[in-house]
Amino acid sequence: MPSVASRKATTDAFAARLRVLRDDPVAFCREILEFDPHAGQVRWLENSNADQNALVTGNRWGKSEIAAAKRIFKCAFKKGWTAETLAKQTAKRGVYQSMNVAPTADQSQLVWFKAHAMLQQPKASWLVRDVKMTPFPTIYFVNGSVFQARSTAGDGRHLLGHDYDDVNWDEAAYETRFSQILENVLLMRLVDRAGTLDCTSTGNGRNTFGEYFLGGLPGAAELPGTAKIRADYSQSGSTRENPHVNQQRVEALSLRLSDKMRAQNIDGQIVEGGGSYFELADIAAAENTLLNEHLIAEYDEDAQHAYAEVRADETHPWIEAYPNHRYLHGWDVAEKKDWAVGWTLDLSTDPFTCVEFERFRRRGWDYVYDRMRRRDRKYKTPNATKLDSTGVGDTVENELKDIRAEGVTFGGKGKKDALLANLQSAFSTRTFRMPFLPVAHNELAFYEREDEDLTTDCVMGLAVAMWFAKRSPETIDDISLI
């Protein structure tokens, strides 16, 4: 066992090395966190030093990893604190506060868990004093800094009353009230400490955040008609920059994307609008932020599975709170190559409420049938499971006779047009609401009617659900809905 003197010498040597790394975030990542950032991530670490910074990347670029590493670096050195600030905060026992926020609690925790994993490395672990998961994830550093994860649900009301030195806003492009939360909540939480804000996100069209990002590009401030609120520094990143991603798979995936979706989800660009079918404003209106507050969501690293369930409150699943409501499940089924997608709608609310969503592939028919049966039995509404039976004939319906599954085919252009027009109408008339679901949002936003080469399973599953929802006995009395 090392002696007290030996341990002190080691600790002193570590502290001395930290002082050398104080102004070198890249070396800090490589030496202390054992994380080697790629060229695009290095550029972000070295240049995103303004008051407001915006990063837009393609999927799998590594924005969560670099956001986590930057939070650790800033907490380790209390970056932004001057000698005067240090004296002031010490006098009132203030601590350096770093926060990762996102539209949902689950999303906000992704960066936090990345940081937690990085801090398990031998040298990095010396930086941590304690970790707590309740009431929300918190890392306490040995120097007194604190890093937490919170959601911006309810227009960021959970953040009111606190001051922060550093905030990373993950997936800021998907905040439907971006400017209100930015100006009325986050910037006001940073002003007293002269704190800094990073917005790290995949793109979501040229919405308010898109304009904010574009305003921070070199030379944008001099252009006429630019956004009133803009980032001070903006950077984009392509998935192709990440050497740890299988680029052959990236290229194969890109062939199934529209030009606009490829530009956004792989090239990390802000594109004009989305697809040509569903209005972005209608999609945004359906994405009710209140449903995000108690959302349980899971997304695996390889994007092979996504699951989300809306809860009535902190302790009760939706079905426990509303057991007598009528529910309907819309499925687009597939065994291997394509995705199986299931939506569950509560038809007893006005508008209808999406309370559960699942998307997976490469699991086999037994797994598909099991998930459909579990969903049906969970909600206990008779004859509630509906599916797209195009291409699978009567096979799936026959297999699921025990739950009385009912299919509809998209065979023929006219029938498919009718199903899609019905969904389009549901969006425009605000017939239903749903939580923010990234994978579903992207499919809907970039959907085009000529869809042979697009991934459309989320769209078609929702189209099935809405087709039967508008024709259920509880809603059939209003003929205008048909």
What distance in Å separates the CA atoms of residue 97 and residue 149, rounded to the nearest whole number? 11
Higher pLDDT, 301 or 164: 164
CA dist 362 to 2, 300, 389, 395, Å? 52, 14, 18, 18
Q: Fold for domain 280-481?
A: Nucleotidyltransferase; domain 5 (3.30.420)
Give mean pLDDT, residues 72-99: 88
Q: What is the DSSP string of 104-154?
A: SHHHHHHHHHHHHHHTTSTTGGGGEEEEE-SSS-EEEETTS-EEEEEE-HH
pLDDT of residue 15: 84
Longest dimension (CA), the chain: 84
Band of pLDDT at residue 241, cut at 50, 70 and 90: very high
What distance in Å separates the CA atoms of residue 203 and residue 201, rounded to the nearest whole number? 6
Higher pLDDT, 252 or 55: 55
What lies within 8 Å, CB to CB, of 148 at 6+ separation is: 97, 98, 99, 100, 112, 136, 137, 138, 139
* Residue 376 pLDDT > 60: yes
∠ Cα 29 31 37 (to 5°): 35
* Residue 185 pLDDT > 70: yes
Question: Under a CB-based contact definition with an 8 Å cutoff, are residues 245 and 268 in contact?
Answer: no
pTM: 0.77
Lowest mean pLDDT among 152-166, 252-266, 352-366, 436-450: 252-266
pLDDT of residue 336: 57
Give mean pLDDT, residues 25-34: 97
Decide yes or no: CATH 3.40.50.10440 for domain 38-254.
no
Q: What are the domain boundaries of the chain?
A: 38-254, 280-481
Higher pLDDT, 202 or 67: 67
Higher pLDDT, 399 or 9: 399
Give mean pLDDT, residues 410-437: 88
Band of pLDDT at residue 475, cut at 50, 70 and 90: very low
pLDDT of residue 4: 57
pLDDT tens digits along 214-227 = 999 987 655 544 45
Band of pLDDT at residue 325, cut at 50, 70 and 90: very high
Lowest mean pLDDT among 17-31, 66-80, 467-481: 467-481
Helix (H, G, I), strand (E, B) or coil at 216: coil
pLDDT of residue 304: 61
Give the dihedral sign, CA 27/29/31/36.
Answer: negative
Alpha-carbon Rg of the chain, whole angstroms?
A: 24
Higher pLDDT, 169 or 246: 169
Higher pLDDT, 92 or 304: 92
Tokens of 22: 């104080």
Higher pLDDT, 289 or 350: 350
Interhelix angle 457-469/438-445, nearest 10 degrees: 90
pLDDT of residue 411: 67
pLDDT of residue 478: 33
pLDDT of residue 292: 82
Per-chain mean pLDDT for the chain: 87
Higher pLDDT, 466 or 226: 466
Band of pLDDT at residue 201, cut at 50, 70 and 90: very high
Cis before 351 (ω within 30): yes
pLDDT of residue 429: 93
pLDDT of residue 91: 73
* Residue 52 pLDDT > 90: yes
Query: What are residue 299's DSSP bridge partners?
Result: 306
* Residue 476 pLDDT > 50: no
* Residue 252 pLDDT > 60: yes
pLDDT of residue 103: 87
Lowest mean pLDDT among 36-40, 131-135, 443-447, 476-480: 476-480
* Residue 402 pLDDT > 90: yes
